[in-house]
Amino acid sequence: MASIKHLFNEIHYEMLRKLAEGGMGVVYEAVQLGAGNFRKTVAVKLIREEFSAIEEFQKNFIGEARLVADLIHTNIVQTYHLGQVGGQYFMVMEFVRGVNLEVFIDKHRELRKQIPVDLAAFIVSRVARGLAYAHQKNDREGRHLNIVHRDIGPKNVLMAHEGDVKLTDFGIAKALDLMYNEEGKVIAGKDEYLSPEQANYAVTDARADLFPLGIVLTELLLGKNIFRSADRAQSRRNILTMPIPQFSTLRPDINPKLEAIIQKALTRDRDQRYQSAFAMLTDLEMYLYSDGYGPTNEKLGVYLKDIFGVTELGGTSVSSRPPYPTPLR
């Protein structure tokens, strides 16, 4: 950490603490320093030093930075800068002070409390909103980027304590001319959050993000991922073959409108699934708001403070597990 601090001090970043670490990368909380005592809290993501000279990792890292540079949306964590210092590439990102969905779900499990149905649907609707933007994104020449995130899961959804919901970590996304991709040879994503086409090594399109988004919704509602197994291969088999339950039998306050949304999102045949994140977003918002006032960022923010406590959320982290996902798996 000392050598990292020294390197970044030279380029006007004060490294505060490590937020997350994976096999190949690490994310820090940092302060960007500027003229006139300017200070801005940011997240700095970089390739670990021992991997920073490997061309494949560099290519993936640069590809992610180039991809997310123009993804400017309230429901996506923003990337500000790609740089290099001491032979290491680094990415400067928006710092989200709050929790990720994994921490949020675990807190409810600890309290033996269910997440309110409307807030679960609202959180997922905001992720769908971010995905709808990313999936429709064109490059500067007007070419459709065909972005597929491929890693939708609770760790990659952050919630600021004000109630803003943000999708992050496009590290294994695929996109036109930008991201490394070996579909058909390897599985990209976590076994218990795959779409059936990912689990089958098939080539994906944007619809592949909607099945795991349905999984996230059911996990928020039930407090567990019904497809997860201790055996990774069994998790994939569950994705492909396990009967999809009627979720209202597992939680009675899931009404028929929400049940229909879940069932459509978890349709294995992608031609029968939601055909776009925008369509799923529309149905979720119709469910949430057709009868009048529904959940908002502010309502979610108040709920987070009630669950975690104002003092917890007022600090840099509400948990020993930080809000950022493990980078560069």
Active site amino acids: 151
Please give the backbone phi and psi of residue 139, each rounded to the nearest 5 degrees, phi first: -85, -175
User: Minimal CA–CA distance to 60: which of 82, 85, 86?
Assistant: 82
**Regarding beta strands 165-167 and 25-34, do their DSSP bridges make them parallel or antiparallel, or are they unpaired?**
unpaired
Vertex 33: Cα angle to 49 and 316 (nearest 5): 75
Dihedral in degrees, nearest 10, Cα atoms 63, 66, 69, 73: -50
DSSP annotation of 122 reads H
Residue 112 CB contacts under 8 Å (≥ 6 apart), including other chains? none
In the chain, at which residue ranges do the beta strands (DSSP E only) sit?
13-21, 25-34, 38-47, 79-85, 88-94, 98-100, 157-160, 165-167
Q: Tell the burial category of 1 from Cβ atoms under 10 Å away from its Cβ (0-12, 13-18, 19+).
A: exposed
Report CA-CA distances (Å) from 243 to 5, 66, 219.
Answer: 51, 40, 16
DSSP calls for 218-286: HHHHHSS-TT--SSHHHHHHHHHHSPPP-GGGTSTT--HHHHHHHHHHT-SSTTTS-S-HHHHHHHHHH
Tokens at 234, concatenated: 């069994």
Q: Look up residue 52 and give its DSSP letter.
A: T
Is the separation of the CB atoms in 91 and 82 below 8 Å? Answer: yes
